[in-house]
Amino acid sequence: MTSIPDAPSAARSSSNHLGSPGTGVLVTGGGSGIGRATALALAEVGRPVAIWDIDAAGAEETAARCRAFGVTAHAAVVDVADSSVIGSAVTAAADALGSLGGFVHAAGVSGAGTVDDIDDVVWDETLNINLRAAAMICRHLLVPFREAGPGSAVVLISSIEGLFGSVMLTAYCASKGGVLGVMRSLAQRFAMEGFRVNAVCPGAVATPMLEPAFAIPGFREQLEERTPLQRISTPDEIARPIRFLLSSEASFVTGAHLTVDGGLTAVTAI
């Protein structure tokens, strides 16, 4: 008779899958929000992590919390908008972790403003951080991914604003829609090497980026009312799907985007 594993065994089995492969993962924007939650979720299943952020204290705090899981964690101050530093920073991350077989681009800015008010500075900053950096970092990953071996994967953070328009987020919508285009192109290129590339499209998440919007009277309440699950997501609820896409459990998933928004875009245009 086939025995049914008890709950702890089943949990350990699931954790093992989510931690496979065990290569290191680079997480941009890892000093807070979705980036921090993702680094912690990966460390929880035994994957080493490299945390990049422009906030040195935030990056180091995340790294320290990851080390509590017994994994190697490397923190570095990296401005992803500066393409000239990316190559050496990727090499340093791979060296620090011993391998680099995963990448999550969680660094981002909101670039808030209508087309009436936007200027070149806001436009360039938003596109450079949210979009260009994703491609520029990935161009430096092929060598370490080859060294890390099968199972290497990328997850780019897009947004539901990459799927629909928002009058107040012209530059942000452009950047996040662009992320989906870049993801599909990279998925084809990386597949030639046996690697996968996907994207996650979060809805509203309780992160520092959204704090100014939540300060607007009634904004959060209206958003929760329109969302079928009737609440805002926490960062860890985005991190776990990202961890899945990086794992061997998603071994045949590439060129796809996963919407994690509590059902908001399933029932209404944002």
> Would the pTM of this model clear 0.75, i.e. be above it?
yes
Query: Residue 269: what pLDDT?
Result: 60
The partner residues of 51 in beta bridges, in order of sequence, read: 27, 75
Domain 21-205+234-263 sits in which CATH superfamily? NAD(P)-binding Rossmann-like Domain (3.40.50.720)
Cα–Cα dist 193/143, whole Å: 10
194 assigned to active site: no
Residues of the chain with pLDDT under 70: 1-15, 269-270
Cα–Cα dist 180/52, whole Å: 22
User: Of 103, 172, 190, 244, which residue is the catalytic one?
Assistant: 172
Strand order in 153-157's β-sheet? Answer: 73-77, 49-53, 25-28, 102-105, 153-157, 196-202, 257-260
Query: Residue 12: what pLDDT?
Result: 38
Query: Residue 1: what pLDDT?
Result: 37
Average pLDDT, whole number, for the chain? 92
